[in-house]
Amino acid sequence: MRKVGFIAVVSALLLIGLMGMPAGAQTGAFVFSGTAHLNSGFPCTSGCSGTFSGTARGATVLPTINCATGCAMTATYTYNEPGGQCVANVPAAPLGTANGTYSIGSVSGNFSWTRVGVVAVLVLSSPTGAAVAGFVPPNSCAPDTATVAGLAVVA
């Protein structure tokens, strides 16, 4: 009986939450992975451009977008990667920032990130959301790519 009550309460809260969303709002979550390209090289602090290409898996509702089996994910951005020391042939760049646009299937919007070490926290807009991503740079003191994996939630 407790399970039925719990399910009823959670369902009611979800319904109330969905009713309060503006028409056409997108709500969902995606996991993603791919390669970030630092087209202007590393380090770079002025006029730096980059791209990302990868795959996202997840879904949204209102409207429904299903990427359960994978959708292409792309991004273009400007970045600020001031560099740092190189330790064991890996850049030890403590901070970096970027902002740009992204697309997951038919969902697209804007983002900005702040990277601390190998972890970036992203703020998404249009649709609003947040993401966290990990970066794995290649074994080079001057990388121009990094493997990226993360989780994004939009609402």
Rounded percentage of the chain residues whose pLDDT exceeds 70? 84
DSSP 141: S
Cβ-based neighbour number of residue 67 at 10 Å: 22
Beta bridge partners of 92: 85
pLDDT at residue 30, as a whole number: 95
Element (H, E) at 61: strand 49-61
Instruction: Please give the average per-residue pLDDT across 67-90, as a whole number.
Output: 91
Per residue in 143-155, pLDDT (tens digit) is 899 999 999 998 8
Structure tokens at 98: 């970027």
Residue 100 pLDDT > 90, yes or no? Answer: yes
Per residue in 12-37, pLDDT (tens digit) is 323 333 334 444 567 899 999 999 99
Structure tokens at 147: 């493997």
- Nearest-angstrom CA–CA distance, 125 and 130: 9
Residue 107 pLDDT > 80, yes or no? Answer: yes
Single pTM value for the model: 0.79
pLDDT at residue 97, as a whole number: 96
pLDDT at residue 119, as a whole number: 95
Instruction: Please give the average per-residue pLDDT across 68-95, as a whole number.
Output: 90
DSSP 94: -
Residue 110 pLDDT > 80, yes or no? Answer: yes
Query: Please, what is the Cα angle at 138 between 84 and 99, to 5 degrees?
Result: 65
Structure tokens at 79: 């970045």
- Nearest-angstrom CA–CA distance, 154 and 36: 21
Closest CA to 109 of 83, 89, 131: 131
pLDDT at residue 25, as a whole number: 60
Alpha helices in the chain (DSSP H): 2-19
Task: Indicate the pLDDT class of residue 129, thresholds 50, 70 and 90.
Answer: very high
